[in-house]
Amino acid sequence: NAGVMQNPRHLVRRRGQEARLRCSPMKGHSHVYWYRQLPEEGLKFMVYLQKENIIDESGMPKERFSAEFPKEGPSILRIQQVVRGDSAAYFCASSPPGQGGSGNTIYFGEGSWLTVV
């Protein structure tokens, strides 16, 4: 049973370009979360999605960032017109459906490291 799969693992973008990060949840998991980790910091919640629905995007910057989890295919975190401050590790996590709609266990992927030059 493969874990949470993220790609690319490393991505370099020039300022103003777009970055697309993909995440396939663990098999049987229907809840996906995106987190951002800045250097020397803990992880900060960005968005929580279920299939075709954004449940909680309270941690998403208001501009340039968007996320989706289509009926088919991976979840995508999209950053438009990247700036140097977007350089960070972006982690996807997933959990199975469970009590309250979310399982107790939340598993993380290996992360996508974005560098903006």
Residue ranges in contact with other proteins by CB under 8 A: 4, 6, 31, 33, 35, 40-45, 48, 55-56, 58-59, 91, 93, 95, 100-102, 104-111, 113
Rank residues 8 and 16 by Cβ distance to other proteins and give the closer one: 8
Is residue 116 within 8 Å of residue 84, measured between CB atoms?
Answer: yes
Provide the minimum distance between the beta carbon of 48 and other proteins in the complex, in angstroms, as a whole number.
Answer: 4
Strands 88-95 and 31-37 turn out to be antiparallel
Q: Which is nearer to other proteins, 10 or 15 (CB)?
A: 10
| Smallest separation (angstroms) from other proteins to the CB of 26 | 11
CA distances from 88 to 21, 37, 56, 80, 91 (A): 12, 6, 21, 15, 10
